Structure 1
Amino acid sequence: MKFPIFICFFIFISGVNAQMIDKEKLLEYYESQRYAEAAQYLQSVYPEDTKDVKALTQMAYCNMMSGKFPEAEKNYLKVNTVEPGNLPVLFSLANINSKRGNAANAKAYLLEIIQLDSLNFSAYKQLAGFGDTPESKLQYLKKANALNRTEPDIAYDLAVAYREIKQYQQAYDVLETAIGADKDNFTLQQAQLPIANLLGKYEEVVETGENLLKKNTDVNVINEMGQAYFYLKDYQRCIALFKTLEDLGVQNEGTLYFMALSYRELKEYDQAAIYAEKTIDEGISDHTALYYTALGGIYKSKNRFSDALEAYKRGLMFKNSNTIYYRLGLLYDLNLKQAKNAVTYYNLYLKNKPDPDKEKEQISYAKARIVSLTHPKEVAIK
């Protein structure tokens, strides 16, 4: 860190009036990384309306390094006015705006950079993070990758973008090139495994996975290897790998499903049935009923009452829910005008012991509607 700081310092000193600057004091600020104090010192030396580019740049840098982004931006903008088209200044302005959450401004500065330098890799790399659409992000990543095919971060991000649009061969090729330049890059190899599986390169997945596991036990690698062994019809190894994940408590619906299928292929039907049931249990979320409740409410708001009814009832398949019982009562009562079904669900709501404090109004309403719907004539006389 000190070496480039000294370079900046001496370049700066050589370009300004040395008599105006206490070199030793400024050097001390830099050595101890007291950038805020360095900025204050420089501001005390130069007038506020100075147009000295080197001084303004140095003050801007010190303010940026000390986290004073508004002051840094102000200084850099002055430099940009005096000396437009300065790429380091434009990059700094883009960086400051990015850190302050001003994405539109940051992107504008980066676009200005590529207008000045259409082959600027760093600008395209940063622009990918400001892509307004998946398509624009992909284009920026492709351009950056074309300029530097071995840069690992861009290769990884581009492969992910290709995978999202199901262009698996392109994703694989991008990673293959980057891995060729860095054969020990665990992250790139791990990213390539699921893509290789999707392309049917199962033996490659197993070979690469085994090498990776020698360096580091990773559940994602084990997961991809287990799938590869399944498609290679090596069901015992598939089970063994996924059993490892189960023992670690990191199984999921997919791993359990492959275990069920593997036991079935081995004609171990009792075990297959056990893991089929585990798969079903794993696939059911504690929140599934809540999701169907929300869906039912959406359909009801759109007057799609039959769809709302179906959504609520699906929710009950996962969990007995006071909220769903109550909403079904309301739906049958007020929207579908089916009194008998409304009473059934109001009763189920009450039998399910709703909280008497939190649901006081709903309980009172359900009881009143049961009486009204069950004895409409008596209610009318009263």
Structure 2
Amino acid sequence: MRKTLIATFLCACLSISAQNHSSVEEAISNYDYSKALQLIDSEKNATTKLTSQKALVLKGLNRYTEAIPLYTQLLQKDSKNVRLLTELAECYRLSGKYNEASNLYKQILEDNPENRYASLQYISLLCGMEQFKRAKEACQTYLKNDSSNISLKQLAQCHEALNENDSAMNCYNHILKNDSTDYIATARLASLYIKCEDYVNAIICTEKYKEIDSSQIVINRLNAQAYCLNKQYKEAINQYEKLVAQGDSSTLTCHYLGICYYADEKFYEAHDYLEAAIKNDPNNINLLYYLARACAKTSWKKEGIDYMNKAIRLTTPSDETYTNLYQGLADCYNLAQKPKEQIQALLEQYKYDKNNHQLLFTVGRIYQDALEDMSRAKKYLEMFMATRPEKQTKEEDPEGTISASLYNVAERRLDAIRKEQFFREGVPSKMIINNKEYKAVN
């Protein structure tokens, strides 16, 4: 009787567990990961299957750092399992641990060199890490077995990132031979033609695509831009007006349409579109220039002056910019042990940072210590001493001014120079004291 009861109880437990497992699988298949996780955590015994399911569920809930140790645990029992390795690599990638993900994809490809998914993911990861040379090499290896458009696009992306524009264009042309309907390849190819100032080919490739689909807005923008840059303004206006009719009021469209109208001497239309563009891109110097010119030729002459002045202010670097650049240059010359060039950089810095009198002290010190030019050292140290506040004593160190101790150092340096000059040159034949000239007594 007792044995019968135990057997019945075990059967009931197994039945409940089986139902629970079935519910977990159903929740996962319905992407109800929160429910699946609750069911898994309610199980007392963590089997390999449950651990695998929990890792999958945590990954689905974007809890990658919690999924990683579970996949690592599973791989200890099955280190060559491609699915587990791929899932772990994805968790590392999605949690920002790109090197770990990269190493796992390399491990997968060492054992399974023809694994298409792992190859594509590995190349994509290298591009994401901006390791384009490695990505290009991986693409070229992969293309030996698979010359699909996906891999060609990845190779083209690598060529673009490495400024290998001709190679990138060859890739996109090859893709379009295989599939002329690929608008992304067309857009990238047209953008490269525009970048290389080959506007005619940009027009040809976009017009060819428009024969397939005349409503693709990205292609239409590139087509109109190419006409504009090729100075075919009337055709560009025609294309841009079609975009506007499609509801395109983007900054780029308004920008180039305004320039086309300006070039076609339709200044009021130019003003309207350029003003619309400037609202979203207020510091665009090119926009400001053309808007100012359009204003000057219409009723908004005062606004034109304001826009042109703003363009000039933005074009001319600020004193702070020059100060930082020359300070950096002086540091570079200092580290390269080129004191003459360092002095020139410091003096250029002083032109834009007139309140930084400490620069004069630094120039004097370099002349004295590095170049042993006492005449120039004395000149700049005296210029520095002339900036000392009248009320500052040798002991004072008021906040916001150059430290009194630095003036004291400069004073000691000047005394040393004067003493050296006295012993080297003797008493001067004439001396000026209180604005009166005295002859030296022999």
TM class, shorter-length: 0.5 to 0.7
Question: Which residue is 1:304 aligned to?
Answer: 341
The answer to whether the aligner puts 1:91 opposite 2:94 as a matched pair is no
Q: How far apart, CA to CA, are the structure 2 residues paired with 1:237 and 1:251?
A: 21
Question: Which residue is 2:406 aligned to?
Answer: 365
Question: Which residue is 1:5 aligned to?
Answer: none
Which of the pair has the greater relative contact order for Cα pairs under 8 Å at 6+ separation? Answer: 1
Shift in CA distance, 57/137, structure 1 to aligned 2, threshold 3 Å: farther
Give me the TM-score of the superposition, normalised by structure 2: 0.58
Question: Which residue is 1:14 aligned to?
Answer: none
Q: How far apart, CA to CA, are the structure 2 residues paired with 1:179 and 1:328?
A: 66
Shift in CA distance, 231/25, structure 1 to aligned 2, threshold 3 Å: same
Residue identity opposite 1:183 in structure 2: S
Are 1:79 and 1:89, in contact at CA under 8 Å, matched by a contact in 2? Answer: yes
Which of 174, 184, 187 is 1:156 aligned to?
187
Q: How far apart, CA to CA, are the structure 1 residues paired with 2:328 and 2:75?
A: 66
Paired residues, what number? 344
Shift in CA distance, 66/330, structure 1 to aligned 2, threshold 3 Å: closer
Shift in CA distance, 47/278, structure 1 to aligned 2, threshold 3 Å: closer
**Partner of 2:309: helix, strand, or coil?**
helix
Question: Which residue is 2:238 aligned to?
Answer: 207
- Structure 1 or 2, whichever has the larger Rg, is 2
5+ residue gaps in structure 2?
1-20, 34-52, 58-66, 368-372, 391-396, 423-442
Q: How does 1:121-160 map to 2 (within 5 A)?
A: 121-131=149-159, 134-136=162-164, 138-148=166-176, 149-160=180-191
Which of 314, 322, 330 is 1:289 aligned to?
322
Are 1:322 and 1:349, in contact at CA under 8 Å, matched by a contact in 2? Answer: no
Q: How does 1:283-362 map to 2 (within 5 A)?
A: 283-286=315-318, 287-294=320-327, 296-297=329-330, 300-301=333-334, 302=338, 303-304=340-341, 308=345, 311-312=348-349, 316=352, 320=353, 322-323=355-356, 325-327=357-359, 330-331=362-363, 334-335=366-367, 337=376, 339-340=378-379, 343-344=382-383
Question: Which residue is 1:238 aligned to?
Answer: 270
**Partner of 1:212: helix, strand, or coil?**
helix
Task: Among all aligned residue pairs of Structure 1 and Structure 2, give the percentage whose two residues are the same amino acid.
Answer: 14
Which of 261, 268, 273 is 1:229 aligned to?
261
Q: Once the 2 structures are TM-superposed, how far is the Cα of residue 165 of structure 1 from its aligned partner?
A: 3.5
5+ residue gaps in structure 1?
1-21, 51-55
Alpha-carbon RMSD across the aligned residues, in angstroms, is: 4.9
Which of 197, 217, 220 is 1:186 aligned to?
217
Cα deviations by residue, 1:86-111 (Å, 9 ceiling, x for unpaired)? 43443344345556777665444322
Q: Once the 2 structures are TM-superposed, how far is the Cα of residue 114 of structure 1 from its aligned partner?
A: 0.7
Cα deviations by residue, 1:283-323 (Å, 9 ceiling, x for unpaired)? 2455533444346526754543686367436x62xxx5544
Shift in CA distance, 80/251, structure 1 to aligned 2, threshold 3 Å: closer
Question: Which residue is 1:170 aligned to?
Answer: 201
Are 2:271 and 2:294, in contact at CA under 8 Å, matched by a contact in 1? Answer: yes
Q: Once the 2 structures are TM-superposed, how far is the Cα of residue 133 of structure 1 from its aligned partner?
A: 6.5
Cα deviations by residue, 1:215-270 (Å, 9 ceiling, x for unpaired)? 13222222212222222122333233333445667253222322443455569976
Q: How far apart, CA to CA, are the structure 1 residues paired with 2:155 and 2:101?
A: 24
Give me the TM-score of the superposition, normalised by structure 1: 0.66
Cα deviations by residue, 1:48-96 (Å, 9 ceiling, x for unpaired)? 267xxxxx45444544555588689758845763x54343443344345
The answer to whether the aligner puts 1:219 opposite 2:248 as a matched pair is no
Q: Once the 2 structures are TM-superposed, how far is the Cα of residue 371 of structure 1 from its aligned partner?
A: 8.3
Which of 129, 137, 145 is 1:116 aligned to?
145
